Structure 1
């Protein structure tokens, strides 16, 4: 290495581009915080344009990568087919949802909920058709028969219904 290159390296001043990037990085951090860490490069780039900073989306991506900033991404749920044989159960209600007393008919619903920490979680809830209230529920990271059974057990322990036919 030549002597002149060495001393030029020691006395190096930041370029105009580097100084500009520092200012833009501060604005990117502020925009990202204001969006509660939700905005990605495209929306941050649009927000920068409203502030009067016109740069390419690729440059915004590079600066975000340098800062370690990422947007929150929720993946779409893609159900997979089961290889197991499905046992068909008797339809006890036969689409008759009318009731005359409390605890006469209950229905179960399964809901898919995406969480940032755990990914997809599943909520099984039991509703009494007479009062239209949720009387029991259970939540799990896996969807299976045990989830629905736990929700029914919770409803059963809270309501303590009198059984009119052989369900145990």
Structure 2
């Protein structure tokens, strides 16, 4: 799935558009490629499984509040932008079930500024386990979205 719309120039509101939005439950994707710029994959609601996929973007390119497992997937950051962020998870409360798990994934790309994620909402949950990271990842790792109360 590719978002072939022109890349946003940052001057217009609502310029980003998702290449894919998943809001149903129990969706599974095998050997799929998701390519976009900002907000590539809206992993919105439900339980989802991604295996042997390729996901490319720049800012918040995997976002939403779903509970999803990404297995053996390449996460490719296409950006020199210091605002590059891979995930923006939107879990609202600590007892919510949502979260993203990346297992045996490869994080690749251009640049050296990408953050692994930012707390879009106060109880964001993102885990990288047994993953490899190229130099594209900023050693800082995470952003609290300029809200110190999100540092939990």
Q: Normalised by the size of structure 1, how large is the TM-score?
A: 0.17
Which is richer in helix? 1
Q: Normalised by the size of structure 2, how large is the TM-score?
A: 0.18
Max radius of gyration: which structure? 1
Which is richer in strand? 2
- More RCO (CA 8 Å, sep 6+): 2
